[in-house]
Structure 1
Amino acid sequence: MSDAVSLGFQTAELCIKTGKEIYKRCKTYRHADEEVRQAILEIDSYWFTIEDQVRFLRDHWEFFEDRYQVHSNHLLGELQKSLQAAVDLIDNVLGEPDDSSVWNGIRSKKGDTRRGKWTVYTKEQLNLILKRIEKWHHHFNPTWFLLSRMSNKNVGRDFENSRDGNSGAISTVAKLREAHGESQTTLVPSISSSSTSSSSLFLGKNYELKDIEAIPLARSSMGMTGEGRRVIIDHYFLRNGVDLRTAKKDVRDLVSILSRVDPAFSSLLPCEGVLETESEPPFQMIFTIPRTMSYGVPCSLRSALLQTKNDFDLNERVHLAVSLARSVVFLHASRIVHKNITPENVVLLRSDNETLGTPFLVGFERFRFDERRTNMTGDDNWEKNIYRHPQRQGLQPEEVYSMRHDIYSVGVCLLEIGLWNSFVQYNEDHQVSGPSPELSIDDLLIAKNKRRAAVGIKALLTEKAMTHLPRTMGKIYTDVVVSCLTCLDSDSPLFSEPTDFEDADGIVVGVRYIEKIVYEIERIRV
């Protein structure tokens, strides 16, 4: 076993050992105050939710790509520190296991005031540790889901064996891998005879959908089901060169994956199925709105950007940016290239304590799976092209769409969020009226050399990020946006090493994005 493999294995093993120590203390300290004992149990319960993930990493460490090992070892080291802090705190305030003298001493003190203060302090410290572990898990999930891309047979076999196990995290990745396998092996003519789970993704004619209305300045709609649930409706149009049978297979495979998403992690809505129509668009994907996000009427990010920036505080704007950035991780882990990330395809849903809301990426009409052929076709719509890298603009784009092109699109959206300015203006009839007055691209839009104009717009966006974002959003946010906008440059700070693109599974690209975009933007404190 190499040093790198051994180190990661040992770190995972140490996490598991420390987790056992917490469990042992939960069993031991039955004499503790109820509130303190409950706080210890909450830490132990949360460890239980992630223990299987840590064990899986430990048992398969040798099969992981080097960059993934380095990244994961760092995360496991942070987890171990938090777990050990919990053990140390418990022992310091309660004594060693089976030693009730400390607690008995506290109980014997005269009066309840001192004991009450001790209880409050101890509970607060344990809750802080729990929040650290929860935060760690939130950070770790993007890295975990990248395993759905890993082609190693040993990893795949053990995920398959754990598919119906008790661990939700392992089961989710296993089902994603299963969905990828189905999309790879199922031939188009066999759609009608596909498995029950696949065929059930197509909603029957009895599925009731009513009160359908457009979401202003969005490419999706909203409606009500027969049971009275509000849903988001995404329209899938046939593209040039794609026949109905192929489109049906693509949509089915997409819905198979999106039906498994966790909105809290992915900033994607779970898809409950797809309706076939007899007209254009031929397919309507139905997305479930989480119960906690059903407050108010859904709106598009475009609509929000056209409102005054004073309406939304900085915390909510950063939350919006973080959520949008995380959505790309799940898409990459699911081998999906969105190809159409714009504010019109981001729907904001609100809980009762939010003003701006949480973004969810929709608008999958141009998506493709990254292992499948892509149609090298485009359009000349400037309002769409400004979200596309220059390589992907025009009627005949130069490059095959990849995750990095989606990252560029996210960068443009993050720039708009940071400036709180819509680069695309609309008139009262909800028709595009022109670019923002603050985006001086009129001359570039009418230039004869479209490729040179596209490069000029990219340069203008990058310059705007570097000169205007620091004073409103700070250095971290600025660096993240610039990294996204320059992610395909030869001297990109995000993907600067040739090894970033050498792994066939795309794990390294995902790790770099998590480290340099997602983790960085999550560091922002307002």
Structure 2
Amino acid sequence: MDPVTIIGLVQTCYLAGVKVIEICSAWKNAATEVQSRVIAVEACWHKTQLQVKLVGNITSLMGAELSQMMDEILRELFHKLSEAASTLQNVIQRASTSKPNVFRFRFRAKAAWVWEKEALDSVICDLEEWQRRYDPTWFLVIKLASPLVDVELAKAAAAEPKIQGVPTAARNPLALAERVRKVQSPTTEQMKSVFLPSSDMEWMDIPFSEAKGGRRPQEARWYIVDTIEVGEAARVRDVAQDVRVLAAKLAQADPLAFGLLNCKGAIPLRQQPVSQPAAQNAELTAPAPPSRARSRSPGPGQNDYTHFQIIFRIPDGIQLEDLQSLRQLLLNSDAQMSLSRKVHMARELSKAVHYVHTLAFVHKNIRPESVLCCEVPEGTGTRSHSFLVGFDAFRAVDAGSLMGGDMSWAGNVYRHPSRQGADPSQKYKMYHDIYSLGVCLLEIGLWESFVEYEDTQGTGGASRAKFGKTYNDFGAWCQRQKLAPSFDAVATGLKEYLVEQAKTRLAPRMGDRYSQVVAACLTCLDDDNDSFGGPEEQGEGHVAVQFVEVVLKTLDKICV
């Protein structure tokens, strides 16, 4: 794609946006509800023009795939802005051409008020929808390895008024992008500051999740805590380095934009944390007091750590009690979960996986136990959120792999055949995360839990996973297929079984687009997959662009 074309599209979009804002300015003195919507349109456009203008200044840095994606999404923006201008102009003309009848004045005034609100709501919805689709591509652009990106970001951010507080994608996208970019390769100083001193903690289990709620005694604020076990075969120094980098990067995460919780820091531990009993009904327990050696923040070079605790902030407006694991919802929720909520969960989880990869990590543990969901009041209704946690097995994309695994159904059902069992045949890569995502999206679409527990009213710490309906159905399928009684045949058969479920049972429930996304994820490592694939040496950027095209954009096109 010719950079000149993208620059032209940027200018065209800018002019179309200015026209929309000029039309909206006619309603500055309208009723309060109309006026608040005008402000919302202006806020959406302000963020959009900042991001689009910066892209126009660095378009020469983008490769062919990213340029093509940017071309398509800018054309979509121009189309939406043109439609917005036409819709708003029609409302003005409709109100002005109404016949002047004194007896109908009040009716016409009320009708005009309704028309204005509806038109503005439509514009806001379109711009927010476009922004949701654009943000993943925007952060791929921000990640480009060139000093020009830093120069342009600094120039654009300097021209913007300073906003107090932690930058978010909605309030100050340039400041957030600048901070995210600065931690792509964290400095020694940035990584030193992420290790926190250990202290006594109160704990609360989150049912069917390995993450826990934790807080210091006498403190009101709860945090989400992931515990990473170093493992006997792992090199402590390498794990510590990965934890430092992950914590430094996630310290800049915007939870509502990324689907990843913001990280406060990490606590290195020299002994295994005391196992916490189930904390049902908000019962709190305290682990044994820390040893004297753990009372200070360890310095670099100390290599006797056995565990790391990663501390995540719960977003404002959300309480620990609001959070449920996706596994708990699948096991205990009404089977008639709304289609719109399922699609929203799928979008949020897919977005989170994308940003993990954008930050140059593989997650390695994507399953319903690693997803926290909540619904919070917003306006006259509620808004649902999903956050990816469970970083106990993560590593940097380019780091070595220990090639470890296990034989559990609860783990292997989410693993590609090449990663199943105690001795996986392939080194873990981004495509394996995408496969795991596909299994989770299949569960969400069917609204069936592929893993069951002995006590579905218990908690992840108290209940043990067991074979259930899905395992038994798969066993019956294997008998019908007359699979060879070997581990490799059964592992490959499990993938084929899940693909068959996606192609036969999923479409009637979720539609063809959703079914296609799931099938594409489950076959992302197949040689004949037309959606994913290509030379592996193209690297993580190639995978990320494919993921946006195949998964995120398609899910966003689903109308519910």
On whether the aligned pair clears a TM of 0.5, the verdict is yes
Determine if the alignment matches structure 1 residue 181 to structure 2 residue 185. Answer: yes
**Matches of 1:319 and 1:482, distance apart in 2:** 18
Report the TM-score when normalising by structure 2.
0.81
2:490 to 439, 453, 470: 453
- Secondary structure of residue in 1 paired with 2:208: coil
Partner in structure 2 of residue 221 of structure 1: 212
Q: Which amino acid aligns with 1:200?
A: S
Measured after TM superposition, the shift of residue 315 of structure 1 is 2.3
Q: CA RMSD in A?
A: 3.2
Identity among equivalent pairs (%): 30
* Residues 525 and 94 of structure 1, relative CA distance in 2, 3 Å threshold: closer
1:485 to 517, 522, 537: 522
**Matches of 2:97 and 2:41, distance apart in 1:** 20
**Matches of 2:43 and 2:247, distance apart in 1:** 33
**Does the CA contact (< 8 Å) of 2:254 and 2:260 recur in 1?**
yes
Measured after TM superposition, the shift of residue 482 of structure 1 is 0.8
Determine if the alignment matches structure 1 residue 370 to structure 2 residue 370. Answer: no
Partner in structure 1 of residue 251 of structure 2: 259
Partner in structure 2 of residue 62 of structure 1: 60
**Matches of 2:330 and 2:475, distance apart in 1:** 21
* Residues 28 and 310 of structure 1, relative CA distance in 2, 3 Å threshold: closer
* Residues 385 and 163 of structure 1, relative CA distance in 2, 3 Å threshold: farther
Runs of 5+ consecutive residues of structure 1 not aligned to the other structure: 96-100, 187-193
1:432 to 465, 476, 482: 465
**Does the CA contact (< 8 Å) of 2:409 and 2:467 recur in 1?**
no
* Residues 269 and 395 of structure 1, relative CA distance in 2, 3 Å threshold: same
Measured after TM superposition, the shift of residue 438 of structure 1 is 5.8
- Secondary structure of residue in 2 paired with 1:276: strand
* Residues 216 and 43 of structure 1, relative CA distance in 2, 3 Å threshold: closer
Query: For 1:394-415, what per-residue CA distance to the aligned partner results, in whole angstroms no more than 9, with x for missing partners?
Result: 2332222221110100111111
* Residues 460 and 29 of structure 1, relative CA distance in 2, 3 Å threshold: closer
1:135 to 118, 129, 136: 129
Partner in structure 1 of residue 300 of structure 2: none
Partner in structure 2 of residue 151 of structure 1: 145
Within 5 Å, give how 1:233-382 maps onto structure 2. Answer: 233-280=225-272, 282-294=307-319, 296-307=321-332, 309-310=334-335, 312-352=337-377, 358-382=385-409
Query: For 1:22-50, what per-residue CA distance to the aligned partner results, in whole angstroms no more than 9, with x for missing partners?
Result: 44456676676666555444322321122
* Residues 388 and 117 of structure 1, relative CA distance in 2, 3 Å threshold: same
Q: Which amino acid aligns with 1:366?
A: A
Q: Which amino acid aligns with 2:195?
A: F
Measured after TM superposition, the shift of residue 448 of structure 1 is 5.9
**Matches of 1:297 and 1:30, distance apart in 2:** 38
- Secondary structure of residue in 1 paired with 2:197: coil
**Matches of 2:425 and 2:183, distance apart in 1:** 30
Partner in structure 1 of residue 412 of structure 2: 385
Query: For 1:191-247, what per-residue CA distance to the aligned partner results, in whole angstroms no more than 9, with x for missing partners?
Result: xxx42x433322234x6632x032222111112344312221111110343233332
* Residues 94 and 418 of structure 1, relative CA distance in 2, 3 Å threshold: closer
**Does the CA contact (< 8 Å) of 1:148 and 1:333 recur in 2?**
no
Q: How many aligned residue pairs are there?
A: 503
**Does the CA contact (< 8 Å) of 1:259 and 1:270 recur in 2?**
yes
Query: For 1:81-134, what per-residue CA distance to the aligned partner results, in whole angstroms no more than 9, with x for missing partners?
Result: 222334344545557xxxxx9699989997333233223212321221121111
* Residues 165 and 148 of structure 1, relative CA distance in 2, 3 Å threshold: same
**Matches of 1:396 and 1:5, distance apart in 2:** 47
**Does the CA contact (< 8 Å) of 1:349 and 1:359 recur in 2?**
yes
* Residues 356 and 53 of structure 1, relative CA distance in 2, 3 Å threshold: closer
Partner in structure 2 of residue 98 of structure 1: none
- Secondary structure of residue in 2 paired with 1:112: helix
**Matches of 1:36 and 1:320, distance apart in 2:** 31
**Matches of 1:84 and 1:318, distance apart in 2:** 28
Report the TM-score when normalising by structure 1.
0.86
Determine if the alignment matches structure 1 residue 168 to structure 2 residue 178. Answer: no
* Residues 381 and 77 of structure 1, relative CA distance in 2, 3 Å threshold: same
**Does the CA contact (< 8 Å) of 1:316 and 1:357 recur in 2?**
yes
Partner in structure 2 of residue 191 of structure 1: none
Measured after TM superposition, the shift of residue 314 of structure 1 is 2.5
Measured after TM superposition, the shift of residue 141 of structure 1 is 0.7
**Does the CA contact (< 8 Å) of 2:431 and 2:524 recur in 1?**
yes
- Secondary structure of residue in 2 paired with 1:310: coil
**Does the CA contact (< 8 Å) of 2:27 and 2:38 recur in 1?**
no
Q: Which amino acid aligns with 2:212?
A: S
Which has the larger displacement, 357-366 or 292-301?
Answer: 292-301
Q: Which amino acid aligns with 1:398?
A: S
Measured after TM superposition, the shift of residue 447 of structure 1 is 7.4
**Matches of 1:41 and 1:424, distance apart in 2:** 47
Partner in structure 1 of residue 4 of structure 2: 6
Query: For 1:364-409, what per-residue CA distance to the aligned partner results, in whole angstroms no more than 9, with x for missing partners?
Result: 1111111222222323223211211111122332222221110100
- Secondary structure of residue in 1 paired with 2:233: coil
Partner in structure 2 of residue 507 of structure 1: 541
Q: Which amino acid aligns with 2:75?
A: G
Query: For 1:44-92, what per-residue CA distance to the aligned partner results, in whole angstroms no more than 9, with x for missing partners?
Result: 2321122110011111112111121111111111212222334344545
Runs of 5+ consecutive residues of structure 2 not aligned to the other structure: 161-170, 273-305, 456-461
* Residues 448 and 274 of structure 1, relative CA distance in 2, 3 Å threshold: same
1:396 to 423, 441, 451: 423
Measured after TM superposition, the shift of residue 21 of structure 1 is 3.3
* Residues 477 and 86 of structure 1, relative CA distance in 2, 3 Å threshold: closer
1:413 to 414, 428, 440: 440
Which has the larger displacement, 442-451 or 372-381?
Answer: 442-451
